[in-house]
Chains A and B, each alone.
Chain A
Amino acid sequence: MLPRLPGVVARVLSCLLRGLEGRLVEIQVDISSGPVGFALVGLASGSVREAKERVRSAIHNSGLPFPSQRKLTVNLAPAELRKDGSGLDLAIGVGISLAALGLPSPSSTAFLGELALDGAVRHVDGVLVAARGLIRHGVGALFVPEADAAEAALAGGLRVYPCPSLSTAMAHLTGDTLLDPYSGRAPAPAAADTNTEYDLAEVQGQDSARRALEVAASGGHNLLMYGPPGAGKTMLARTLPGLLPPLELQEALELAQIRSVLGDLTAGRPLDWVRPFRAPHHSVSLAGLIGGGSGLATPGEISRAHHGVLFLDELAEFRAATLQALRQPMEQGHIVITRRGGSVVYPARFQLVAATNPCPCGWEGDSQRSCRCTPASVEAYQRTLSGPLLDRIDLQVVVARTPMDVLGREAVGESSAAVRARVVAARQLQIDRQGTLNAGMRAPQLRRWAPLDATALSALRRWAGQRGLSARGFHRAWRVARTIAGLDTGGSVREHHVMEALGYRLVERAA
């Protein structure tokens, strides 16, 4: 039990989100003599001030006493934290009811949920994030809307009470009718949790793209596919999640937190093991892609693609500023967004797959259709592709159209499941050896874990000298060679691994 402060009748805990951080909020209720009224203080925004009316009706309609003939003050502490949303409703309602009944406040217990006018407790977003934040603040029990109980339980180490209404919460606190804590089983991935909607077996031909996808999946590398319309670039990109192993528990929890903040979790099955695949259209806004919005920023597509695949089709059609904004998260695996309401950090460790036509009409370089663009427009188009973003893409392959007469007659290719088996083994090898996927290795790690013999190093240097390879490009080819060697023998990086890696680069060729 909390110590009673002079004048304060009830103190109840709840939580507010700042991005993926849960901040403890204490609701202090004071009932005193003085001018009759209901004051809500503590930097409450409009949506929280409306809580006054919802809570008043909910208490009345739950048959609980409301101190309407007294001076009622509700303070939301800490006062400097801006309060938003309706998630504090339940805590305010419980606080007022406890104060009105003269009951002691429960210790290390928090309440989350929106109140309907009849006293029912309604769903709120971000319960998982809030639950994890509350645990860090020493909270041991949490009352949540029934629909959000499974989500809250993911946090682990917390007694979660699914709470249908204000009156059932009060009945539990008074000891009249106890609620049962949530007792779902701990989640674990099943074989069905791989995205197999798009299978490589359905892809005809496309040897380069198939190989590049396998290498990309194995080392966590970014991939660019370059080719005319109708070559199957989108279909190929969609096979990538199915080549990756299901999410690990920690990864699934991180992704669930992002979805929790967005209110995107599936009720009853909050933890999803399938790697996300996000394909925003090229007209996407900066805020939509990297996160944003007024007040506090909400996560964007790059965070929704956390631990999964972000597919940008028609790369050259994206606004330059939008693509520029991808550089920070691609290097750091997270994004910091500052808005009026403060700064938030969202994880964004995605694997980028990009696709582009070679020119505005799409047929430049095709063997059978002639391009109708002017040389100047082709050059302008390709210039938008070049530069820093392309330099951050490890694997770049040309995808040609599959001729019509091959479609439907070819024997099916190797299935995604067969490729995934090799990918999983290769990834395990990397984690065991260096603790990260190859795409995440920096130069010192490369020198340590991927030493090149004299022949391999001289070949790479010769190419770099000949083609004006940047230092970044040099290391990218090196990392890809490490992944290729891993898929080949698992042993050291040889000259032919470096040569193959250089076969999947387009940047220097165009120069």
Chain B
Amino acid sequence: MGARRPTPYGEAVAERLATDLAHAGVAVVSGLAVGVDAAAHEGALIGEGCTIAVLGTGVDVVYPAANTDLAARIVAGGGALVSQFPDGTGPKRDHFPRRNWTMAALADLVVVVEASEGSGALITAEAGLAQGQAVMAVPGSVFSPLSVGCHQLLRDGAGLVQNARDVLGELNGLTAVLDDPLTPPDRLAVEGEAPRGRDGLLRHLSDAYPVEPGDLARRLGLAFPDVVARLTRLELEGKARRMGAGYLRVRGRGMT
């Protein structure tokens, strides 16, 4: 689990971890929210594994509606939508923390990908701890507010996740550590919202993980030339910069 508005780094990590774990036969449980949840479900589907979405609504109500197609593919892929709420229940604010508790209960182990301080993902992690499950976290950029929650968990003794084998080792009680870097997905399967306004694209850039314009175009449903023009404009304004074939977000002030 993790942020609903993660950085591209968070989405990439969630998707790749889920893919690798699904390949290894692990069922991926998440909450069908946008962001890290959706990336985890998509990743599990790419890995042709079983993935379970725990809903905060009735199983016949998909919230948010943007994930309707994803929900259908989860079921078609042999996974399940589960809910503790009766059919027809719409989204209610106080249902989601209860759903998080259920999600933690269904899992053997909780992995947090990106979480800001005091976010819902941290609540789920606490629920997992309270129920005796292992909690692990993926580190992030120290520049990013979305890393704070994960880094707090790590300081408090959560397991460090660098790759799927770290998670498998914890599940199987192994202690050997492999420090291989995680392979980023070639392109993210999760779809983003179309950017609004002048800086709209900036939200889809990371300061840690270069995003290629072609991937952005596909995910956001924009034309490739349009994305290149928008990125160059951000570059001109000192808000983005090139790295290899992709673009990074530039934090704070200053130019390349």
Binding site for B on A (CB under 8 A): 205-208, 211, 227, 365-368, 398-400, 402-403, 405-406, 459, 462-463, 466, 484, 488, 496-497, 499-500, 502-504, 509
Contact = CB atoms under 8 A, between A and B. Distances in A.
Interface in B230-256: 230-233, 236, 242-246, 255-256
Top-4 shortest CB links A-B: A207-B214, A400-B245, A499-B229, A403-B186
20 contacts: A205-B186, A205-B214, A206-B214, A207-B214, A207-B217, A208-B213, A211-B228, A366-B244, A367-B244, A368-B183, A398-B244, A398-B245, A403-B183, A459-B233, A459-B236, A496-B229, A499-B233, A500-B232, A503-B213, A504-B228
A54 to B, nearest CB: 62
Contacts of B233: 459, 499
Given A366-B244, A400-B245, A405-B186, A500 B214 contact: no
Chain B interface residue number, banded? 20 to 34
Interface string B188-227: 0000000000000000000000101110010000001110
B243 A365 contact: yes
B184 interface: yes
A503 B210 contact: no
Contacts of A509: 242, 256
A228 to B, nearest CB: 9
Contacts of A206: 214
Nearest to B218: A207
B184 A500 contact: no
A402 B183 CA distance: 13
Given A207-B214, A463-B236, A466-B255, A500 B245 contact: no
B5 to A, nearest CB: 24
A214 to B, nearest CB: 10
Given A207-B214, A211-B224, A227 B242 contact: no
Contacts of A367: 184, 210, 244
Given A207-B212, A211-B224, 5 more contacts: A208-B213, A208-B214, A208-B245, A500-B229, A503-B229
Nearest to B210: A367
Contact of B232 (A205, A227, A503): A503
B181 interface: yes
Contact of B181 (A368, A405, A488): A368
Nearest to B247: A503
Contact of A466 (B184, B226, B236): B236
